[in-house]
Chain A
Amino acid sequence: SQQGEEDPQALSIQEGENATMNCSYKTSINNLQWYRQNSGRGLVHLILIRSNEREKHSGRLRVTLDTSKKSSSLLITASRAADTASYFCATDASGTYKYIFGTGTRLKVLA
């Protein structure tokens, strides 16, 4: 089963609205990362949050991490049509160099 599972699977919003995506995971982690994938392209790293951090910001992105609930959320504020993409969380498997990716949230921002 997936270590990281995103919720919802798909999200459709109007331009200017905020988009929130959630990620749950199963085992202890060193860090959690969020990536974006535009259609037909590779993944692009967005933000990394360490296990001892609770919140992190980068531009219009805000990530929270709750290690007690083994969950994270990604908030995109004031969304734009260009934010249309799939978003994945990835967790490291402690003690290894491996990452485990979820199945992603497909975000569609309507102009």
Chain B
Amino acid sequence: DVKVTQSSRYLVKRTGEKVFLECVQDMDHENMFWYRQDPGLGLRLIYFSYDVKMKEKGDIPEGYSVSREKKERFSLILESASTNQTSMYLCASSLRKNLRGSRNQPQHFGDGTRLSIL
């Protein structure tokens, strides 16, 4: 089974701090994703990466950056945390293609990090 591990289940930080959220997957997946989940808004894509050192902005990248130095690890960085970044953050990974060459394969999620910014 694919395992996607997020470094913290709960995290409390102060406004202005630089915050790092780490995600590691063990199945050699090419694609990795960061989402935030807020009540009534569902999951919104922050950034995704389809290869090492490659990244693309999602729908809400402002105030965030990412790093993918190794295939198995995808880090989300809050450059200067603000209270409106209090949220549940979910990391996911997927294969780029299956054996038949089909894209958009199922995503495997970590258990999330509930981040509070005070």
Q: How large is the interface on B (under 10, 10 to 19, 20 to 34, 35 or more residues)?
A: 20 to 34
Assess the A43–B40 pair: CB atoms within 8 A: no
Asked if B83 CB lies within 8 Å of chain A CBs, one says no
Residues of the A chain whose Cβ atoms lie less than 8 Å from the Cβ of B102: 30-31, 50
| B108 lies within 8 A of A45 (CB) | yes
Secondary structure call for the A interface: strand
Shortest distance between the CB of A59 and any CB in chain B (Å): 16
B42 touches A42 (CB 8 A): no
Residue in B35, B42, B104 whose beta carbon sits within 8 Å of that of A103 in the complex: B42
| Interface flag for B111 (CB, 8 Å) | yes
Counting CB contacts under 8 A, is B107 at the interface? yes
Q: What chain B residues lie within 8 Å of A31 (beta carbons)?
A: 102, 104
Q: How far is the CA of A78 from the CA of B31 in the complex (A)?
A: 36
Cα separation A49 to B108 with both chains bound (whole Å):
17
Which A residues are in CB contact (< 8 Å) with B92? 42-43
Contacts of B90 in A (CB 8 A): 42-43
| Interface segment out of the listed A11-19, A65-73, A94-102 | A94-102
Provide the bound-state CA to CA distance between A2 and B104, in Å: 18
Interface residues of A in 90-111 (CB under 8 A from B): 90, 92, 97-104
Pick the interface stretch among B11-19, B43-51, B69-77: B43-51
CA distance A71 to B104 in the complex (A): 18
In the bound complex, residues from chain B placing their C-beta under 8 Å from that of A35 are: 107
Interface flags, A30-49, vs B, CB<8A=1, else 0: 11010100001111110010
Known: A30-B103, A92-B104, A99-B107. A42 touches B112 (CB 8 A): yes
Give the chain B neighbours of A92 by CB distance below 8 A. Answer: 103-104
Which residues of A sit under 8 angstroms from B48, Cβ to Cβ? 97-98
* Contact code string B74-95 (vs A, CB < 8 Å = 1, else 0): 0000000000000000101010
Residues of A at the B interface (CB closer than 8 Å) are 2, 30-31, 33, 35, 40-45, 48, 50, 88, 90, 92, 97-104
